[in-house]
Chains A and B, each alone.
Chain A
Amino acid sequence: MLAIRVIPCLDVTNGRVVKGTNFVDLKDAGDPVEIAKQYNLDGADELVFLDITATHEGRNTTIDLVRRTAEKVFIPLTVGGGLKTLEDIRNILNAGADKVSLNSSAVKDPEFIKKASDKFGVQCIVIAIDAKKVGENKWNVFVHGGRIDTGLDVVLWAQKVVELGAGEILLTSMDKDGTKDGYDIELLKAVSSSISIPVIASGGAGKVEHFSQACEYGASAILAASLFHYKKLTIKEVKKYLKSKNIPVRATT
């Protein structure tokens, strides 16, 4: 059986891991390479680095830490944040990333998804969608760290990125992010049932039950950040619980 993937996400800036609530109030959470190694030992199925640095220097720091991580950790590594050109993607892949996550640049120029997918393959292109509820069963796509409402409907956008060649969607609920209230399962259900590619649920995990809920509502993978960084829960605990609910997981050793 294909296992549900449990994915810790590391928000990085200037070579450090940080985490905030609702996209603000950032706190230092440690050295990315050390944290990545530990997660690998704990049984993480994949790792996501989101580079939230705006500067060019910061970007080079990120390439360096991707390189150092990829030498030590032999599980899939996705890197996102500020990737605007095919050259940006190539640099990150050459450093050892397996997939890239595109967000604002994809919204600004949807053809960029197609170009990136044609060049690097469908399996390489993760489209990150930051979704915020704007009405009953209606969510809009936000960009620039959640500051700008694009007016795009999340479900329609998800369907469009699939056509353009996305291999996976990283779906973050901005309403739930950092709250530990649980994933936005209505959002998850709406998106997952309308597309054929895997959806990674993100934003709001607080306890083990939230992970199994997300699986029931169509998530192929479940992502969490602060929960794992601050050791409120371990990956082992999450997997043990999922297994007890008959949800297939990769064994942790």
Chain B
Amino acid sequence: MQTKVAVIDYGCGNIKSVVNALHYCNADTYVIDSPLKISNFGGAILPGVGAFGPAVDFLKSKGFDKAILNYVNSGKMLYGICLGFQLFFAKSYENGEYEGLNLISGEVRKFEFKDKVLKIPHTGWNNVESSESEDAKKMFSAVANEETFYFVHSYYGILKDLSQASSFCDYGIKFCSSVSYKNVWGSQFHPEKSGKNGLKILSNFIDEVNK
């Protein structure tokens, strides 16, 4: 039987690519725009591009914040991509100050570089170095270390507890490029746009959903 995975559509950007990649990984993918249905799924993905404030306001107005929290507390697998990942943090300073979903302790801040050599957004393929934790190994199973993934972002998450990080990336500073902490996974890079490495991470996620 195919694994049923929900992709949460909250009006933020491009979910089609995520759906395509999950199909490629043989997941039975459903796009949901209401929190009522989320408990039907063993795996859920919170994608997202755009700005933190409007996104979190929209999630809260629809009741997704509480539904996602309950979902995670029930032990089911959640994966946040890019903005979806940043939304996991307690707080973001993107165009103001916003409270996030608070699944991860820490905050989201903007890259700041003095000259114009390191461009913002951090756009393109960069190496990540995966961590040694058991949870990190699940996420990066069969992905070679120092492999490249596709990034496009101006903000990055700063973890309070670094042991939750499953990989780090270097762009002017060393930042946390992904988290895998129990059933909460997230990445600043786009697994759906990172060629075979990204597809491997998504299939590792699906494997966890099936466990």
Contact = CB atoms under 8 A, between A and B. Distances in A.
A220 B122 CA distance: 10
Interface string A1-28: 1111100000000000000000000000
B193 interface: yes
A193 interface: yes
Task: Report the contact-size class of chain A (Cβ under 8 Å from the partner).
Answer: 35 or more
A71 B193 contact: no
Interface stretch (A80-88, A102-110, A121-129): A121-129
Contact of B121 (A119, A192, A197, A251): A197
Contact of B124 (A119, A122, A221): A221
A194 B21 CA distance: 37
A112 interface: no
Interface residues of B, number: 38
B122 to A, nearest CB: 7
A94 interface: yes
Given A2-B171, A74-B21, A167-B152, A96 B16 contact: yes
A3 B123 contact: no
A94 B14 CA distance: 7
B125 A3 contact: yes
Contacts of A168: 121, 123
B49 to A, nearest CB: 4
Interface in B29-50: 49-50
A5 B16 contact: no
A122 B13 CA distance: 11
Interface in A60-85: 70-71, 74-76
Nearest to A97: B14
B195 interface: yes
A50 to B, nearest CB: 19
Contact of A123 (B23, B148, B152): B152
Contact of B148 (A76, A95, A196, A250): A250
A98 B124 contact: no
Most buried by A among B24, B49, B192: B49
Contact of A198 (B49, B124, B171, B190): B124
A167 B13 contact: no
A40 interface: yes
A93 interface: yes
B116 A195 contact: yes
Contact of A167 (B16, B123, B150, B196): B123
Given A70-B17, A74-B198, A118-B51, 9 more contacts: A3-B124, A74-B195, A74-B199, A93-B13, A96-B16, A119-B50, A121-B13, A167-B152, A168-B123
